[in-house]
Chain A
Amino acid sequence: MQVSVNNLSYRYPHAAAPVFDGFDFNADAGITLIKGFSGCGKSTLLRIIASLIPVPKGTVVTTSPHGFGSSTFLREEVGFVFQQLNLLPLASVRRNILLALELANKPSALADEWIQALGLEKLQHKKPTKLSGGQQQRAAIARALAKQPSILLLDEPTSGLDHLNTQIITQALTNKLPKSTVCLIATHDNRLDPIADEILDFNSFLPVEEHLQEMV
Chain B
Amino acid sequence: MKSLILIPSYLWKNTFRRWFENPTSPLSKILVTSILSLLALLVLVFFAESKYQLQKKLSETNSLRIYLADRILPSEATTQLIKSRSEEEMWHREFPTARLSYFRQTFQFVQWKDNRAVPVIAYSSKYPSLSIHDAGEAPNIWLLSTSPQHCSPIEEITSDRTTLYAKPIAMDDDMQLALGTSSAIAIPEEMAIPFFTAGFYTHIIASFGDIDTATRFEAATSAYYAAERRSPRKFNSLGIIAEVEKLNQLQTQIRIGIVLTCGLISALIIGAIAWLEFRQESYLLALLRSFGTPRFILLIHGLCENAVLTGLGIFIAFKSWPLIYNILIGSVNGLQLRAAEFLTLPQLDMAIIIAASAVGVLLAMIPVAVGLRKPAGLILQ
Chain A interface (Cβ < 8 Å from any Cβ of B):
12-13, 47-48, 50, 52-54, 71-76, 78, 80, 82-84, 86, 88, 90-91, 98-100, 102-105
Contact = CB atoms under 8 A, between A and B. Distances in A.
B378 to A, nearest CB: 6
B381 A82 contact: yes
Interface of B is mostly: helix
A74 B291 contact: yes
Query: A12, A76, A78, A90 — which one has the most chain B CB atoms within 10 A of its CB?
Result: A90
Given A82-B380, A102-B3, A91 B10 contact: yes
B290 A74 contact: yes
Contact of B6 (A73, A78, A102): A102
Contacts of A83: 381
Contact of B292 (A48, A74, A88, A98): A74
Contact of A52 (B1, B17, B284, B290): B290
Interface of B: 1-3, 6-7, 10, 13-14, 17, 284, 287, 289-294, 375-378, 380-381
Contacts of B294: 71
- Centre residue among B17, B287, B377 by max chain A CB count within 10 A: B377
A132 B249 CA distance: 69
B381 A75 contact: no
Given A53-B375, A71-B292, A82-B381, A98 B10 contact: no
A52 B377 contact: yes
Given A102-B3, A105-B1, 18 more contacts: A50-B290, A50-B377, A52-B376, A52-B377, A52-B380, A53-B375, A54-B375, A74-B290, A82-B290, A83-B381, A84-B380, A84-B381, A86-B381, A99-B3, A99-B10, A102-B2, A102-B6, A103-B7
Contacts of A50: 290, 377
Contact of A47 (B6, B14, B289, B377): B377
A102 B291 CA distance: 11
Contacts of A74: 289-292
Contact of A90 (B10, B292, B377): B10
15 contacts: A12-B378, A50-B290, A50-B377, A52-B376, A53-B375, A53-B378, A74-B290, A75-B291, A78-B292, A80-B290, A86-B381, A88-B284, A90-B14, A99-B7, A103-B291
B375 A52 contact: yes
- What 10 A-B pairs have minimum CB-CB distances, sorted nearest first? A75-B292, A52-B377, A74-B292, A53-B377, A47-B377, A84-B381, A102-B3, A102-B2, A103-B3, A52-B376
Nearest to B294: A71
Nearest to A79: B291
A47 B381 CA distance: 10
A88 B377 CA distance: 17
A82 to B, nearest CB: 6
A74 B375 CA distance: 13
A25 B287 CA distance: 26
Contacts of B3: 75, 99, 102-103
Given A52-B377, A82-B381, A91-B10, A99 B17 contact: no
A107 B255 CA distance: 54
Contacts of A53: 375, 377-378
Most buried by A among B2, B10, B380: B380
B146 to A, nearest CB: 88
B292 A76 contact: yes
Contacts of B13: 90
Contacts of A80: 290
A84 B283 CA distance: 12
B297 to A, nearest CB: 10
Contacts of B10: 88, 90-91, 99
A99 B380 contact: no
Nearest to B14: A90
Given A53-B375, A90-B14, A100 B381 contact: no
Contacts of A72: 292
Contacts of A47: 377, 380
Given A52-B375, A53-B375, A86 B2 contact: no
A108 to B, nearest CB: 9
